[in-house]
Amino acid sequence: MQGPLLLVAGLAALPWAYSMKTLAPPANWLYTSELHDTAVKLLNRSDIAGAQVLYSWKSLERGKDQYDFSRIQGDIATAKARGKKLWVQLQDRSFDKSIDPVPRYLKVPYYNNGSAQTCDGNNCTANFVVGGHVAQHWNPRVRERFQALLTAMARELDGSLYGINLAETAIEVDSKKDNYTDAGYFYGELENARHAASVFNKTFVVQYVNFWPDGWANAKGRLDESFDFYAKHGIGAGGPDLIPEAENQLKNSYPFLRRYRTKLPISVVAVQEPDLKATNPHTNAPFTKKEFVDYATNYLGVKIIFWATSSPWLKSNAA
């Protein structure tokens, strides 16, 4: 999730440090947009299990049904040569107005242009400033093509990948355009996740969840319904921002990740670049690796942390 996350102020203790001490700490993975030289070097560390790498829909489907998974295959080989694993984050949205992640063939009236503009500001209703694009998953024609991509990926990559995750659920689009409805988006995203889990049988499938457009603080029971759905269909869950006691996420996905930690096949969380700048209100300093790990372990109960390659602890010698 983009933008600032508020922290609960005035906490006298770190309550998560005492609640679930029997849990093993999560495995450490890298989070990176590509397996560049820095990431490959970090893969050699003994305390890194693998890498989560981003791949856009457009980069994997050059034309209709013309798939190119050579980059993923190359990254699998790079990781495997070092005894490590690869995880795919499939990007069907962007946070850059110059980047539209859907294939060019969707840019026709039949698919209603395939994507919609998104806003990432604080008051998008009054001041909609374009900040990116998202695939129109509320459009069944677009959704059909996305699911065809998932099927093709599973046919070639199932079992070679350790996991694949669909991007975060939070979006802000102009609800008066592109035939958008909150319910259409919600149920379309559930359908995509179910399809992914149905075609990937040897690879973990995860849906990143922070909140739903019409479901802030579980409004309309959106988080209840989605997490129940994931548990029923063997879909894991996770999130793009690990910040201990982040107030916005405690109102949304964090309690559900905790509650469903034993009901889902896997749960994961990422420490992305903006999260490294978050300040611990008890120390007035950025959160340390130990503080991130303690919260991920003892409150969320996740199995994997994906760390930005710029994480300070990765600059030290391997453990």
Residue 178 has pLDDT above 90, yes or no: yes
Residue 179's alpha-carbon distances to 136, 139, 140, 173, 176, in angstroms, are 9, 8, 11, 11, 7
Could you tell me if 208 and 193 are in contact, meaning their C-beta atoms sit under 8 angstroms apart? no
Residue 277's alpha-carbon distances to 4, 111, 195, in angstroms, are 10, 40, 36
Q: Which residues contact 232 (CB under 8 A, 6 or more apart)?
A: none
pLDDT classification of 249: cutoffs 50, 70, 90: very high
Helices (H), 96-181: 140-157
Residue 89 has pLDDT above 80, yes or no: yes
**Does residue 231 come out as left (phi exceeding 0), alpha (psi in the -120 to 50 range) or beta?**
alpha
- Both tokens assigned to 86: 């690869």
Q: Which whole number is the average pLDDT over 264-287?
A: 97
HEC profile for 66-89?
A: EECCHHHHHHHHHHHCCCCEEEEE
Could you tell me if 122 and 141 are in contact, meaning their C-beta atoms sit under 8 angstroms apart? no
* Mean pLDDT for all residues in the chain: 93
Percent of the chain with pLDDT over 70: 92
pLDDT score recorded for residue 318: 56
Q: Which whole number is the average pLDDT over 191-211?
A: 99
Fold of 27-310: TIM Barrel (3.20.20)
**Helix or strand run (H / E) with residue 243:** none
Predicted TM-score (pTM) of this structure? 0.92
pLDDT digits 0-9 by tens, 3-48: 333 333 333 344 444 344 557 899 999 999 999 999 999 999 999 9
Q: Which whole number is the average pLDDT over 92-100?
A: 96
- Domain spans of the chain, in order of start: 27-310
Residue 63 has pLDDT above 70, yes or no: yes
pLDDT classification of 224: cutoffs 50, 70, 90: very high
Could you tell me if 216 and 252 are in contact, meaning their C-beta atoms sit under 8 angstroms apart? yes
**Helix or strand run (H / E) with residue 186:** helix 182-199
